Structure 1
Amino acid sequence: MRECPACGASNEATDDFCWNCGSYLGWSEGSARGRGGSADATAEPERPEPAPEPTPRPAAAEEPTPEPEPAPAPERTSEPSSPAPPAPETPASPAAPAAPAAAETPVVPATPVAPATPAAPQPVKPAKAVAPRPVVRPLPAADEDTSGVPCPACATPNPAYRRFCRKCAAPLTPATARERLPWWRTVWPFRRRTRGGSGRLARLLVILAVVLALCAAGFLLLPAGRKLIEDTRDKLGTPKAVSPSRVAATAELPGHSARLTTDGLTNRYWAIPGKSAAVTYTFAKPFRFVDVIVTNGASKNAEDYGTQARALHLDMDVFAEDGKVQRKEIDLSDKPGPQPIVVGMSRVTSVRLTLSDPVGLSGGRHVALAEVEFFQRT
């Protein structure tokens, strides 16, 4: 097993690239066999060995005078000389002595020859080491795995667990292209990116529709928004009393005219002979009508309140400068004292009050209204 130096994954001994991250692992042991050569084909070239340094010779010593070499001795044959055949025996003669034996030739030993002086070494440039380049090796037929996943680049079979090809390191599972999103997923939120032009027209139409809806809503809701602003100003501001320039009633009793409702006194009142009557208040210039305070009955005092009849229902019609009329129905309480009523209408020019539903109308009594106070925004 071979360990990847980048991710630490375990790989087979014959793998050149990591199965997990595709990093190069280096040539395996069988690389040379796969390339059809020996290990010597990619081995690093041998460097020349440096020549041995010569032994320094002493400067003071003088070379001895060579002696004359002696004459070379006769060469000896490798085989010994065969002895001469024996002479036939002859009868010994007393007068003749025996012949002396043949003297052997002396062997002179060879003088040793002195070795030749070695030549001085010459400088040599060092060789430059060249790293072998990796060569894509063909896989042996024995290593082929026909049941594995074929590489999309080189069609080499690979085990199912590998992510990169063991021959060319190409990714075995390339990322597939994402499908186009439906238009409704590209409309909201607007920051979503469109893919492949999906939903561009629909998004544009939705944006235009939203803009038109906002414009229409602003146009239609403008009066409501303006009214909200005016009501807020009415609450934040301080109301100021305003008096009408003319008061006219449909019916009134002598000594109890309708103008008594605006004199600022609560012990005088407007009296009507029947069960219902109306009074109109006209103002000199338009104003912002904030609210009105109505004091019902003959007086705000409890002792005088029950001496006359009281109207429990009041219809108020507010007329604006542009001719717009705002009608408001008010139910009054049967008790003494002022009763405030919020109006909130701009550019008001006149107000008409109609009394109805009286109580205590018996024994010669008549319907009474003590005071009506109008307030404008400062």
Structure 2
Amino acid sequence: MDDAARTEPVPAVGPDSAPAGSSTEDTAPTEPVPAAADERARALLIPVADPNQRVTTTPDVAPVLPGRPAAARPRAQGPATEPDEEGGTPCPWCGTGNRPGRNFCRRCAMTLAGGPGGPAARRLPWWRRMLDFRNRPAPWAGDRPRLRRSLGRIVTLAVWGLVAALVVTGTFYADNAYQAARDHFAKRAPVAPDSVKASRSFRGHNPELAFDKTNNTWWGPGVSQGGDGEWIEARFQRPTRLLDILITPGISTRAADLSKSALPHRVEALITTADGRTTTRNLTLDQGAGSQRRPFRVGEVSAVRFILRSAHGAAADKQVSIAEIEFFGRSSGS
């Protein structure tokens, strides 16, 4: 067979043509299918996937790691409202209605007596803040109060104890403090006693000579050595406030006369006040010529007794002598 016979095309079989050797009477006549019917038929077909073909699908939610369990957040709920609280007194702090008779707000728990600008928020005077220990406003939410250390509390108690002691002392000794201030700034004026006496006196040297305002006369007990226990006393008819005392030891103010007699060294002053009470002052004198001033602040004095306790230059042939004793009080012009 040649190449032309092998490549000869085969005629297509159609409705109008029939294969050779066949009759048209053996086949039924056919008609072409409309396009719309063809589409409806295709829509009724159920697609079947190929079992040999692997279908890869993308999940709607991507895989994630398991999360930690979290508790549900609490829901803030307001206080329950009663029918009579809706139209009640509004809180000056938050405006929430409260029924009559309440002292604190049912929502914010603040006092209903005053608001942010009311009397409760005003700054109290210093004396009320100092004495107010418990009636203090509570700190706001989030404001942490200052911590009180143990040492700070001890210091605070010590300070308050000192203040209390000063107040008590000032209450009982206020008059003494006032008189002491007046005595310090007052002018001095001499005060003469109304009467004098002594335990004993040397002949011709009576106790009045120790208060005669002259320095060339003197008083002596008339006993040798230090004259321990001998005394000289000055009395006042009207109670007098004494500020200072001036004592001139010896028989005069001249230095040449110091060795002619013993000089008082320690003198005990027994003071009697108008109410009958007695107090004692110890005076120590120097061994020198001239007058010696000593503070002697005593109020309402009725008598002063000077008792000799020791002497300078005491000897068997000498006696203690005092030339002058002078008292000073407040001047009438001070």
The TM-score with structure 1 as length reference comes to: 0.45
Q: How far off is 1:217 after superposition?
A: 6.7
Q: How far off is 1:220 after superposition?
A: 5.7
How does 1:203-352 map onto structure 2 within 5 Å? 218=167, 222-274=171-223, 275-276=227-228, 277-352=230-305
Matched, 1:152 2:73: yes
Higher relative contact order structure (alpha carbons within 8 Å, sequence separation ≥ 6): 2
Q: Matched residue pairs, number?
A: 194
For residues 151 and 340 of structure 1, do their structure 2 counterparts lie closer, same or farther at Cα, with a shift above 3 Å needed? Answer: same
Q: How far off is 1:229 after superposition?
A: 2.2
Q: Provide the secondary structure at the position in 2 that maps to 1:366.
A: coil
Which ranges of structure 2 fall in alignment gaps of 5 or more residues? 1-60, 76-130, 141-158
**Contact 2:240–2:299 (Cα < 8 Å) also in 1:** yes
Matched, 1:369 2:322: yes
Q: Provide the secondary structure at the position in 1 that maps to 2:173.
A: helix
Q: Provide the secondary structure at the position in 2 that maps to 1:372.
A: strand
Q: How far off is 1:357 after superposition?
A: 1.2
**Contact 1:361–1:367 (Cα < 8 Å) also in 2:** yes
**Contact 1:296–1:338 (Cα < 8 Å) also in 2:** yes
Q: How far off is 1:238 after superposition?
A: 0.6
For residues 282 and 340 of structure 1, do their structure 2 counterparts lie closer, same or farther at Cα, with a shift above 3 Å needed? Answer: same
For residues 347 and 253 of structure 1, do their structure 2 counterparts lie closer, same or farther at Cα, with a shift above 3 Å needed? Answer: same
For residues 289 and 247 of structure 1, do their structure 2 counterparts lie closer, same or farther at Cα, with a shift above 3 Å needed? Answer: same
**Contact 2:272–2:303 (Cα < 8 Å) also in 1:** yes
Q: Residues of 1 paired with 2:194 and 2:135: CA distance? A: 63
Counterpart of 2:16 in structure 1 is none
Q: How far off is 1:236 after superposition?
A: 0.7
Q: Provide the secondary structure at the position in 2 that maps to 1:337.
A: coil
Q: Deviations over 1:43-89 (max 9, x none)?
A: xxxxxxxxxxxxxxxxxxxxxxxxxxxxxxxxxxxxxxxxxxxxxxx
Q: Provide the secondary structure at the position in 1 that maps to 2:321.
A: strand
Q: Residues of 2 paired with 1:150 and 1:267: CA distance? A: 111
For residues 152 and 362 of structure 1, do their structure 2 counterparts lie closer, same or farther at Cα, with a shift above 3 Å needed? Answer: same
What amino acid does structure 1 have at the position aligned with 2:190? A
What amino acid does structure 2 have at the position aligned with 1:325? T
Q: How far off is 1:360 after superposition?
A: 2.6
Counterpart of 1:57 in structure 2 is none
What amino acid does structure 2 have at the position aligned with 1:264? K
Q: How far off is 1:305 after superposition?
A: 2.2
Q: Provide the secondary structure at the position in 2 that maps to 1:367.
A: coil
Q: Residues of 2 paired with 1:319 and 1:221: CA distance? A: 26
Q: Provide the secondary structure at the position in 2 that maps to 1:345.
A: strand
Q: Provide the secondary structure at the position in 2 that maps to 1:330.
A: strand
Q: Provide the secondary structure at the position in 1 that maps to 2:297.
A: strand
Counterpart of 1:353 in structure 2 is 306
Q: How far off is 1:224 after superposition?
A: 3.2
Q: How far off is 1:242 after superposition?
A: 0.4
**Contact 2:241–2:300 (Cα < 8 Å) also in 1:** yes
Q: How far off is 1:151 after superposition?
A: 4.5
For residues 259 and 189 of structure 1, do their structure 2 counterparts lie closer, same or farther at Cα, with a shift above 3 Å needed? Answer: same
Q: Residues of 1 paired with 2:320 and 2:74: CA distance? A: 107
Q: Provide the secondary structure at the position in 1 that maps to 2:175.
A: helix
Q: Residues of 2 paired with 1:241 and 1:143: CA distance? A: 112
Larger radius of gyration: 1
Q: Residues of 2 paired with 1:305 and 1:145: CA distance? A: 117
- RMSD between aligned alpha carbons? 3.5
What amino acid does structure 2 have at the position aligned with 1:263? D
Q: Residues of 2 paired with 1:237 and 1:189: CA distance? A: 44
For residues 311 and 192 of structure 1, do their structure 2 counterparts lie closer, same or farther at Cα, with a shift above 3 Å needed? Answer: same
**Contact 2:203–2:222 (Cα < 8 Å) also in 1:** no
What amino acid does structure 2 have at the position aligned with 1:229? Y
Aligned sequence identity (%): 22
Counterpart of 1:110 in structure 2 is none
**Contact 1:312–1:331 (Cα < 8 Å) also in 2:** yes
Q: How far off is 1:311 after superposition?
A: 1.6
For residues 192 and 142 of structure 1, do their structure 2 counterparts lie closer, same or farther at Cα, with a shift above 3 Å needed? Answer: farther
Q: Residues of 1 paired with 2:324 and 2:243: CA distance? A: 17
**Contact 1:272–1:367 (Cα < 8 Å) also in 2:** yes
For residues 325 and 194 of structure 1, do their structure 2 counterparts lie closer, same or farther at Cα, with a shift above 3 Å needed? Answer: farther
**Contact 1:298–1:306 (Cα < 8 Å) also in 2:** no
**Contact 1:289–1:374 (Cα < 8 Å) also in 2:** yes
What amino acid does structure 1 have at the position aligned with 2:328? F
For residues 266 and 219 of structure 1, do their structure 2 counterparts lie closer, same or farther at Cα, with a shift above 3 Å needed? Answer: same
Q: Provide the secondary structure at the position in 1 that maps to 2:327.
A: strand
Greater mean deviation of Cα atoms: 211-220 or 324-333: 211-220
For residues 146 and 339 of structure 1, do their structure 2 counterparts lie closer, same or farther at Cα, with a shift above 3 Å needed? Answer: same
